[in-house]
Structure 1
Amino acid sequence: MSRMTEVSSLTGRLLVATPALADPNFDRAVVLLLDHDDEGSLGVVLNRPTPVTVGDVLAAWAGLAGEPGVVFQGGPVSLDAALGIAVIPGDEGPLGWRRVHGAIGLVDLEAPPELVGPALGALRIFAGYAGWGPGQLETELRDGAWYVVESEPGDVSHPRPDTLWRQVLRRQRGELAMVATYPDDPSLN
């Protein structure tokens, strides 16, 4: 019997770092889970823009990238690899795009941009990703490192990534909405 029957998939959901999470790679991070099963988990940090423009590394895709038009650091693993994530409304996506969850999917950056481009609602390019081995994320969840919340298509291309952590928490109910007001440095209170 597969362990997947015990672990429900979180693919397509957001991991929002709790204020208690001590790893600087994930301080106030919002991670979109692209894959979660009994083999492990993979996601991208949605709110870590770099100063590198998409045109500097993937010139053919630069015109299709949403604002701010920079590459985002998707996580600490494989920083030399690029992932394209796009929102495509409707039931059917074009060749070169694979649905992950709802309207959110992965773009094959080897495909010609003119093939995929006309269908894109939003595109963001990530260098690297966040990864967890089997059971590792579940342990972090039990330890209280992450809040798990529903994603919305606009999270992928949020125009102000520096505010995404607070925005995602604010739209939650109850106690999580209050966490959005947690100070950057609690020692200054």
Structure 2
Amino acid sequence: MSETSYLTNQFLIAMPALADPNFFQTVTYISEHNANGALGLVINRPLQLSLGQLLAHLHIAPGGSEAAALPVYHGGPVQPEQGFVIHNPLGQWGATLRVTDQIGITTSRDILQALVRGEGPAQWLVALGYAGWGPGQLEQELAENAWLSAPVDFRILFHTPSEQRWSAAAALLGIDLNLLPTHAGHA
């Protein structure tokens, strides 16, 4: 694959026929994709866990922050105990993967502490776990029509209600997923 065909900083949208329960009707933000594989975070699967509950588990006082009531997302099946914060702007945090000039993914506690003080990034989403693909695996799944890819839209990533993100991401491509068949077929 050429460098330009990698999907870093793209949405990966599950096709209706993708039956894997880990990815059924998901939107995944791809934070890294290269010859070694891909890594992403599912952004539309809220857990039954609020940020305040997560902070309490981490012994970080949530204070009076409105952020404490927001959901934590199931980012994927790999390392579900690991936390990730997708955020804009980048900022200076202890451990951040710089995805673009505007978006980073941080795994250090300092960003969570800043969020509860109201000093964190303007836009963010917290997830536990991630989705990973080995070399060539995502390319193969794309060739099998398991996924669509679309450019990232900050409104969908940070502001659209969770239950609307799957259809909203596909709408970026002019596609209504409700009109597509829910089974795979070959002519």
TM-score, with structure 1 as normaliser: 0.79
Tell whether the 8 Å contact from 2:17 to 2:181 is kept in structure 1 after alignment.
no
Question: Cα distance 1:180–1:86, how it changes in 2: closer, same or farther (>3 A)?
Answer: farther
The number of residues matched between the two structures is 174
Cα distance in 1 between the residues matched to 2:134 and 2:4: 14
Question: Cα distance 1:105–1:70, how it changes in 2: closer, same or farther (>3 A)?
Answer: same
Match among 47, 53, 57 for residue 56 of structure 1: 53
Partner AA of 2:123 in structure 1: A
Q: Could you say which residue in structure 2 is the equivalent of 1:104? A: 103
Question: How do 1:110-129 and structure 2 match up within 5 A?
Answer: 110-111=109-110, 113-114=113-114, 118=119, 120-129=121-130
TM-align CA RMSD: 2.8
CA distances 1:39-69 after superposition (whole Å, capped 9, x unpaired): 1100010000011111112244853748x61
Question: Cα distance 1:117–1:183, how it changes in 2: closer, same or farther (>3 A)?
Answer: farther
Deviation (angstroms), 1:119:
5.1
2:176 matched to 1:178?
yes
Deviation (angstroms), 1:183:
8.4
Q: Could you say which residue in structure 2 is the equivalent of 1:17? A: 14
Unaligned runs of 5+ residues in structure 1 are: none
TM-score, with structure 2 as normaliser: 0.80
Question: How do 1:152-163 and structure 2 match up within 5 A?
Answer: 152-163=153-164
CA distances 1:59-105 after superposition (whole Å, capped 9, x unpaired): 44853748x611100011111111111122xxxx3210543135221
Partner AA of 1:95 in structure 2: Q
2:29 matched to 1:28?
no
Unaligned runs of 5+ residues in structure 2 are: none
Cα distance in 2 between the residues matched to 1:157 and 1:126: 12
Tell whether the 8 Å contact from 2:156 to 2:168 is kept in structure 1 after alignment.
no
Tell whether the 8 Å contact from 1:12 to 1:101 is kept in structure 2 after alignment.
yes
* More displaced 10-residue stretch of structure 1: 6-15 or 109-118: 109-118
CA distances 1:101-150 after superposition (whole Å, capped 9, x unpaired): 35221124322633995351112110100000111000000000000110
Question: Cα distance 1:82–1:183, how it changes in 2: closer, same or farther (>3 A)?
Answer: same
Question: Cα distance 1:184–1:64, how it changes in 2: closer, same or farther (>3 A)?
Answer: farther
Q: Could you say which residue in structure 2 is the equivalent of 1:164? A: 165
Tell whether the 8 Å contact from 1:166 to 1:181 is kept in structure 2 after alignment.
no
Question: Cα distance 1:117–1:65, how it changes in 2: closer, same or farther (>3 A)?
Answer: same
Question: How do 1:125-144 and structure 2 match up within 5 A?
Answer: 125-144=126-145
